[in-house]
Amino acid sequence: MKLLHFVPFLVLAACSGQDSGNSATSSDTTSPANGGWEAAEGVTEASNELAEAGLPRLGEQSPSIAPKITPEVYKPTQEPQFHFETEAITDAELKEFYLEMDVEIDGEPVGMMTFEVWGDEAPITVRNFLRYADEGFYHGRKFHRILRDFMIQGGSSNNTGSGQGPNGQIKAEFSNEKNRRHRYGVLSMARSGSPDSASSQFFLISESNSPSTIGLNGKYASFGIMLNGISVLEQIADIPVISNGREQSNPTQEAIVTQCRVIRGEPTVKREEMVRPPLNLNGQPERVRIQHVLISFAGTGTTATRTKEDAETLAKEILERAKAGEDFNALVEQYTDDPSGKTTTPRGTYSMLNKGCFAPAEETTRLMELQTTIQEAQTALIDRVNKKELTMDEAKEQFFALPVFIEFQNAQSQSWMSRTQMVAAFGDVGFSLEVGEIGTSTFDAQTSPFGWHIIHRYE
């Protein structure tokens, strides 16, 4: 069932749990009782903490680094040419430099990535990175963390992701400016929980529309962008990964920066348009919105009590009636065994993303803005409860009447989920239909284990 929680969806997951009629696996995202408003016994001044409890944020994945490990005495691996640690190069001159990274995967050269740096906008960050590169620090550093639909991360002092660089931490230079927003090909600095904790680890964005990517703006210091080398970035990002116990990001192949060069002057490479190459979807659309009627039977994990034979007969009848032009909303209202189908607008709606695809960035950004506003409103109201200006019931009544909350509910009801979160046949049918067409997924213990889905693609 498509639950409308107060809290938004977890990053890179559906906006909510679904019922057994649609979900391939149950969601572990839970909604706090009464929208997170119930105070724990004995809680008074701690209510502000309660307000934040259970509020997962869009953009929750982040390029983080482990606590600092004291390195052995550090000596540059090569004699620096420019000495960025001194005043030999002024801040105004930083924009005169660019970077080249040669990369190999499992010992085989795969090409070079070239980057411009934003010395005017992020001089501290640029100077820090150029210094490491000028000292040869990045030679032989691995890309130790790969998230295909987010970013690739490297620059760890011990190639495992733990530990910071030997030159210390730098002051953050965050920005929400459009020209420094995180997007495909952008270089940025990893950090720990403290804003001013970046050192040597960096990351390179491999997907613009990921909620995690959008959530970085204003929180991580972007400082340059790739000019050329998309094929290299794609080869690294496509390396298969395994779990490290926290996420699927440990590469199964060794991607190494064999050389990272600092060059003064104008780059000589051809500038590529920094856009992720289109996915091969075999002619299918990136996104579909569908309505569906679930016809289930006893023993499938739903509340249906009819027999399997009766379910099949009914599903065939509804399919014929729908194809004959009968009102689909009415069919959902009368027959669906998916409880959420009777609460969405239009009835029985799901918005699905094809594999590797994302919601439009503007929709994700708007949801994040609404989420921030909602959290601020909730915190303010609970503060008034703590001050005895409102009762908790009055605060909840005001909160749920807020126009921004209503807007968020409406936006969330249309939010997108990956087809990989649905039973296989549901997505297979949905993405095979043209707009206006109606099809059905037949009961199958593996691909459609909850019964028959009569599916209408309307967008």
* CATH number (domain holding residue 122): 2.40.100.10
What type of residue is 160?
T
Residue 298 lies in a domain: yes
**Residue 235 shares a structural domain with residue 319:** no
For the chain, 459 residues long, give each residue's pLDDT as a single digit of tens: 333 233 322 222 222 223 333 332 222 333 333 333 333 333 333 233 323 322 234 455 788 776 554 445 678 889 999 999 999 999 999 999 999 999 999 999 999 999 999 999 999 999 999 999 999 999 999 999 999 999 999 999 888 887 778 999 999 999 999 999 999 999 999 998 899 999 999 999 999 988 899 889 999 999 999 999 999 999 999 999 999 888 899 999 999 999 999 999 999 999 999 999 998 999 999 999 999 999 999 999 899 999 999 999 999 999 999 999 999 999 999 999 988 777 778 888 889 999 889 888 888 888 888 888 988 999 999 999 999 999 999 999 999 899 998 888 877 777 888 888 888 998 999 999 999 999 999 999 999 999 999 999 999
Q: What is the pLDDT of residue 59?
A: 53
**Residues 47, 157 within the same domain:** no
Domain presence at residue 271: no
Q: Give the per-residue pLDDT at 405.
A: 87
Give the per-residue pLDDT at 4: 29
Q: Does 13 reside within a domain?
A: no
CATH number, domain of 426, equals 3.10.50.40
- Cα–Cα distance between 84 and 65 in angstroms, integer? 24
Domain holding 314, by residue range, is 33-59+284-457
In a domain, 338, yes or no: yes
Whether 156 and 187 share a structural domain:
yes
Torsion-angle region of 23 (φ positive above 0: left; ψ -120 to 50: alpha; else: beta): beta
Task: Say yes or no: 195 and 123 in one domain.
Answer: yes
pLDDT at 66: 62
Say if residue 143 is in the same domain as residue 292: no
Q: What is the DSSP letter of 64?
A: B
373 and 449 inside one domain: yes
Same domain, 372 and 447: yes
> How far, in Å, CA of 450 to CA of 302, rounded?
7
Task: Report pLDDT for 62.
Answer: 81
Q: SS3 of 353, please? A: strand
pLDDT at 60: 59
Same domain, 236 and 346: no
Q: Is residue 114 part of a domain?
A: yes
Domain presence at residue 73: no
What pLDDT was estimated at residue 341? 76
Domain membership of residue 18 (yes or no) is: no
Residue 1 domain flag: no
Q: Are residues 257 and 318 in the same domain?
A: no
Question: Same domain for 195 and 325?
Answer: no
**Strand, coil or helix: 281:** coil
Residue pair 413/4 in contact by the 8 Å Cβ criterion? yes
Please give the tally of structural domains in the chain.
2
302 and 395 both lie in a single domain:
yes
| Domain end among 264, 295, 313 | 264
Cα–Cα distance between 358 and 327 in angstroms, integer? 30
* Same domain assignment for residues 244 and 335: no
Token look-up 């950090």 returns 191
